[in-house]
Amino acid sequence: MKTKVTDEMVSRFLGWKVPQHFPDCYVSFDREKASQGSSWPTGTNLLTAEQARKMLEHVVDGPKSLQPHQQRVVDEKADLDEKATALNQFIAYNTIFETLDAAEKERLKVQNDLMWQYSEVLGARIAAF
């Protein structure tokens, strides 16, 4: 599970659109064309994907080992986030969702909202570790 979360974080990090003003560090690209959306840089020119993975693993692992009960909370949050994301995708993009009656649609939306609230509580607990 940890590897999947790290892989997703690496992908998101490398897919992040670089801010309008950033140090070029000898990156060559046409700013005018890039500002029109054709080739604006993403990620970073400072790290490879493997280097970004190692950096994020360092960040995720933190300076100390987690106690077993703390690791269970981290794992629970990762599992919950995966399920909540899947439900969110079902609600947003699956054509089956549109065929459900209004009451069931509402229950699924409430379930998804509660899952994300639960995830926030777990995240606050983890931050307190």
DSSP secondary structure of 30-95 = -HHHHHTTSS--BS-SS--HHHHHHHHHHHHH-SSPPPHHHHHHHHHHHHHHHHHHHHHHHHHH-H
Q: 42 pairs with which residues across the strands? A: 17
Answer yes or no: pTM beyond 0.85: no
Claim to verify: residue 53 and residue 76 sit in the same structural domain: no
Claim to verify: residue 79 and residue 126 sit in the same structural domain: yes
Claim to verify: residue 28 and residue 44 sit in the same structural domain: yes
Claim to verify: residue 45 and residue 8 sit in the same structural domain: yes
Claim to verify: residue 74 and residue 114 sit in the same structural domain: yes
Final residue belonging to a domain, choices 11, 34, 62: 62
Claim to verify: residue 51 and residue 72 sit in the same structural domain: no
Which residues constitute the domain of residue 106? 64-129
Total count of domains within the chain: 2
Claim to verify: residue 40 and residue 92 sit in the same structural domain: no
Check residue 69 and give its pLDDT.
92
Check residue 66 and give its pLDDT.
78
Claim to verify: residue 70 and residue 113 sit in the same structural domain: yes
Claim to verify: residue 84 and residue 114 sit in the same structural domain: yes
Residues of the chain with pLDDT under 50: 63
* Backbone φ, ψ for residue 50 (5° rounding): -65, -40
Claim to verify: residue 13 and residue 41 sit in the same structural domain: yes
Claim to verify: residue 54 and residue 68 sit in the same structural domain: no
Check residue 41 and give its pLDDT.
57
Q: Please, what is the angle between helix 68-93 and helix 102-128, to 10°?
A: 150
Check residue 44 and give its pLDDT.
62
The amino acid at residue 11 is S
Claim to verify: residue 22 and residue 53 sit in the same structural domain: yes
